[in-house]
A and B are shown apart, each in its own frame.
Chain A
């Protein structure tokens, strides 16, 4: 029996030639290869895994990019939010001031003519017991003009410049005002301080706690009838009855005040 022995390299060349001829035949009669389909079917899981890996990477990449964008956007939004917050605070303060001013004008319609609405620029209710206002002589604010808050009398203007004024509060130790307790005909002198009190009342004057105290206007600064506060428990010390007063106006909360014309200019 004859055995066909073929050198490996020769066999390879012959096979390559055969492949070439086969390829030429395929070109002449093109038809789809089932082998290719089989390979692709066999390796479908590989494609799925590769797609999953690629998709995961895409997501990661997109996520990183989005993260950076988000951080930048967050920074911008935070800055914007901060600016808006400040603006909102200012607007809120403005609104509250306007509301207070409106309330003031509505509460004191009889004295609002010639009065000046002023904003409290700064305040010191602990040491100097004063307020600084943004209105001054140029706006019609005069020295010794009475200053009202929504709840009552605050004090008087003790210093005035062209565009600003300082208010001496009734809590100032040097402050004083002639007052009258509602229901009593006699007048007293309200002396300022941390605990303002009415002095110079006759001894053993009976005063009901919680009685309204109004200005009498005798000192020539405050218009008569302005609410100052309410009385506390009265006591007689020496020759006078002392009546502590709880002031009606709260200086720490005043944002807008009404500066009345100086009493000398106002015709009663």
Chain B
């Protein structure tokens, strides 16, 4: 359920980031890829791949591209992220940063591969790939920071400190 909510929020962000009045660099960010990363925590690599497939297809649809290459690359990205996260037991901020970098890089490379093999002229070049990877990794960093802050806020240590301060 959480993943579904995250998916919808990420899709909304994906569309919202392309708003004309926002900083144009934000459009390179792919929040849906972070959903794939998030799924790697609770799902097996195959499950993450399925979620990646859905996210990729949603990306294709939302971006007005040919439907398919995004789904394939998303599925591959989900599988890769899932495998790497499990293999290296990534946790904490590293999980988000490495996961988002990996998801963005894998997704973009495979998308390019699929697009080239289909003979389609891609809608962005290498600079776009780099921007996507950078912005998605930056978004991962933000999520990691947010998660850390939330964890610190909810930590039993903080609760104990507050309790001691009251007495």
Q: Could you mark each residue 43-62 of chain A with 1 if its beta carbon is under 8 Å from any beta carbon of chain B, else 0?
A: 10011011111110110000
> A51 contacts B119, CB within 8 Å?
no
B58 to A, closest residue via Cβ: A39
Find the residue from A8, A12, A36, A58 having the highest chain B CB count within 10 A.
A12
Contacts of B118 in A (CB 8 A): 20, 23-24, 27
Q: A8-B46, A54-B19 are in contact. Are A16 and B75 (CB under 8 A)?
A: yes
Which of B9-17, B137-145, B148-156 is the interface stretch?
Answer: B9-17
Chain B interface, number of residues (Cβ within 8 angstroms): 33
> B68 contacts A33, CB within 8 Å?
no
> B21 contacts A23, CB within 8 Å?
no
> A20 contacts B20, CB within 8 Å?
no
Q: A8-B46, A27-B66, A53-B22 are in contact. Are A19 and B61 (CB under 8 A)?
A: no
B50 within 8 A of A: yes
> B17 contacts A50, CB within 8 Å?
yes
> B11 contacts A39, CB within 8 Å?
yes
Chain A interface, number of residues (Cβ within 8 angstroms): 30
Which residue in B46, B64, B68 is a CB contact (below 8 Å) of A19? B68
> A26 contacts B66, CB within 8 Å?
yes
> A23 contacts B67, CB within 8 Å?
yes
Which residue in B12, B18, B67 is a CB contact (below 8 Å) of A26? B67
Which residue in A9, A23, A47, A58 is a CB contact (below 8 Å) of B66? A23
Q: Could you mark each residue 10-38 of chain A with 1 if its beta carbon is under 8 Å from any beta carbon of chain B, else 0?
A: 00100110011011101100100101100
Q: Which 5 A-B pairs have the closest CB atoms?
A: A54-B21, A23-B68, A50-B19, A50-B16, A54-B22
Of the A-B pairs whose beta carbons lie under 8 Å apart in the complex, a sample of 28, sorted by A's number, is A8-B46, A9-B49, A12-B46, A16-B71, A19-B67, A19-B68, A20-B69, A20-B114, A23-B66, A23-B68, A23-B118, A24-B118, A27-B118, A27-B119, A35-B61, A36-B61, A39-B11, A39-B62, A43-B11, A43-B15, A43-B62, A46-B16, A47-B19, A50-B19, A50-B21, A51-B22, A53-B19, A54-B21
